[in-house]
Structure 1
Amino acid sequence: MNEQPLVSVIIPNYNYARTLSACIEAVQQQTYPSIEILVADDHSTDDSVSIARRHGVTVLETPTNSGVSIARNLGAEHANGQILFFLDSDVALDPDAVANAVAALNADPRLGAICGMYRAEPLFPAGLIKQYRAIQQYVWFGEVEGRIPGLHSALCAMRVEVFREIGPFNHRLRWTEEQEYGFRLNTRYEVRATREIRGRHDHDATVGVLLRKVFQRTRLGAPNWMRLNRLPGGAATGLRAIGSGFVFAAVLSLLLVPWLGPWALLGTAALLGIGIVLDARTYLYAYRHHGVLFGLQFTVLHLMVMFTSALAAGLGIVQGLLFPSWVRRLYGTEMTA
């Protein structure tokens, strides 16, 4: 590989005109000198395409809205670089992110992909929900630095020959494509996450959108996690999943209040306490860095997310057990071997 291989930064996009300029400009300001930028637009209905063209980057367009996997694959198909850097259009990279990604790939031929992490501050700080999500993902991603069983496709790099060997992103998936690709990639290579590749993410701004995404990704991912007997975040995710179960049980225990009275409330408090302890680092970060008032608000939101993820995981597991052919058809046996 050349000393400074060309890096193709592939930005899949659908209706993210509000963040696309910041995303592209951050790539254009990278310290690494050999970069081409391809925006793979998934038939946006806002001003995304015109914004991308004003920045002088290559713009590719899908004929219909087909999902992020199709957009990423389209970008990879037209890329000229020896390294592909996939970057979501709502992420603004730190200036040294691409240089650090290239250095990591050059240092270890066994490395299939190197993934970055979000910073604790959202791209456009505005409101409690964005700040909550930024902290949650900052803590969770930071726990799995090093080798990971999944993939952080929002900001990750791989050699073009590895992408061709593993194959394209699964176009059948719209919520769990990165989990499945990471599982597939890990059968032949190592995938690692590092704090050396950072970016600020424009997180969800409303509770409804946040919970809907958590529910969909968990429900659709759970059958495949069960089938493969592994979780995308490793041991830390396992403890947190157990904690979510305790939060779910705590909410259900409230149904017993008419019969058990204070004893049921005591049980609810105990179950909530266990659920919080199993994810203590997340709560502690919020209290330590943003104070008690924010910490209390954070706690309420996080308990809602934990309950939603437990409910979704349970439904997904039941769905996988009752309809195994649906799981095989969705993911494809060849995709998860």
Structure 2
Amino acid sequence: MVSVPTHVSVVIPAYNNERTLHACLSAVYAQTHPPTEVIVVDDASTDRTREIARQFPVRLLQTPVNSGPAAARNRGIRASTGEVILFVDADCAPTPTALTTALDILGQTPGVDCVHGIYLTEPLYDDGPVEAYRLLHAHYWRLRSVGRVRTAIFALCAVRREVFDDVGLFDERLRASEDVELSDRMADRHGIWLSAEMTCHHDDDSRLGSLLRKQFSRSQLLVPVAVRERGPAGLRANRPAGVLATVAALASLPLAALTPALLVLPGAALVWFAAADPGLVRFVRRQRGTAFVGFFLALHLLVHLAIVGGAALGGLRFLLDRDFGPSRQLRPRPGR
């Protein structure tokens, strides 16, 4: 048994979150373990985010220009006083026992200094089938990995303050994969736990174009972050077989220009893709029925295409620009 921390600072980075911030803060203040302080870091919003934050007894910090979630979280860390910092994204509403669950795990699990949770399949606001796809996939891949992991997802995540004293803060050069990069610095010395009981409702992407653009943009950092990982790979949202099947489909499609008979190659790759994660297919069928599975797989393929394209571009940028990707000065010093 280790010490159970009680003094908790909640840090909420927010950018144009007028739609969800009230629900987020209401859920934070309804926790069974009340937080000591709640800090909202407004990252130069242009909507009513600050006005909504002021409806609650929060400490509101404002950045002069939009700098991304890493910089916003760092500002919140520096301003906080808690033994534990609970990070909550402004489009998430934690369930009432989320913080209590995290503190129990921190207090009862030796070597664990970071606990993060999972999205529920029920959205914060129901915006249709694209959002349903997102939440089903997000819930499933986290659920299959519960327990000790090497990656923390900071949408709902409790971390002992001493972790940041040891490994440093978020890399502010990164606007995506910043949690993966920080986790890589943490994992060897500070245990990370993924809990199925620490949950939240999430307002996820609901428009296809926006979803694909975001996936393409974020995946550009996959290669530089992965290249600089020091230990074994951490959490991965998608099965390698599915990614390889997507690459095979793309690579073999031009061959059909030679003869229609060669369409069998991308066709076989698509069958491989559909069969790459049978557990996911069974999960979607249980949750939404057989009819939804086809829509889910079609959208899943489009997302994979965006990820593969973004990763390819990011890999090229990494080769041509040594400043693209994580900051090298944030790497842990040898022997620490």
Q: Distance in 2 between matches of 1:292 and 1:43?
A: 44
Following superposition, the deviation at residue 324 of structure 1 comes to 6.6
What is residue 232 of structure 1 aligned with on the other side? 234
Shift in CA distance, 21/295, structure 1 to aligned 2, threshold 3 Å: same
1:266 to 1:199, Cα distance in 2 relative to 1, 3 A: same
1:94 aligns with 2:89: no
Deviation track 1:109-140 (CA, whole Å, cap 9, x = no partner) reads 42131111111122111111111100111111
Q: Which stretch of structure 1 is more off in the superposition, 87-96 or 221-230?
A: 221-230
Does 1:331 pair with 2:333?
no
> 2:289 is matched with which residue?
291
The answer to whether the 8 A contact 1:245-1:310 is kept is no
Structure 2 gap segments, 5+ residues each:
none
More helix by share: 1
Matches within 5 A, 1:144-293: 144-228=145-229, 230-233=232-235, 237=238, 240-261=239-260, 263-293=261-291
Residues 194-233 of structure 1 show CA distances to partners (whole Å, capped at 9, x for unaligned) of: 1021001110111122112212222212122134374331
CA distance 1:18–1:272, change in 2 (3 Å) = same
1:266 CA drift (Å):
2.0
State yes or no: 1:55 paired with 2:53.
no
Instruction: Say if 1:259 and 1:12 are closer, same or farther in 2 by CA, change over 3 A.
Output: same
For residue 307 of structure 1, what is the amino acid of its counterpart?
Answer: L
Structure 1 residue 3 displacement after superposition: 5.4
Q: Aligned residues, how many?
A: 330
Deviations 1:147-167 (CA, angstroms, capped at 9, x unpaired):
222221111111112222221
Q: TM-score, normalised by structure 1?
A: 0.91
Counterpart Cα distance in 2 of 1:211 and 1:205: 11
Identical counterparts, % of pairs: 35
Show structure 1 runs of 5+ residues with no match.
none
TM-score, normalised relative to structure 2: 0.92
Shift of 1:33: 3.1
The 2-side partners of 1:133 and 1:34 are apart by 30
Q: Distance in 1 between matches of 2:16 and 2:207?
A: 17
Correspondence for 1:30: 31
Letter in 1 for 2:145: V
Residue 87 of structure 2 aligns to a residue in which SS?
strand
Question: How big is the alpha-carbon RMSD for the aligned residues of Structure 1 and Structure 2?
Answer: 2.0
- Cα distance in 2 for partners of 1:221, 1:271 equals 23
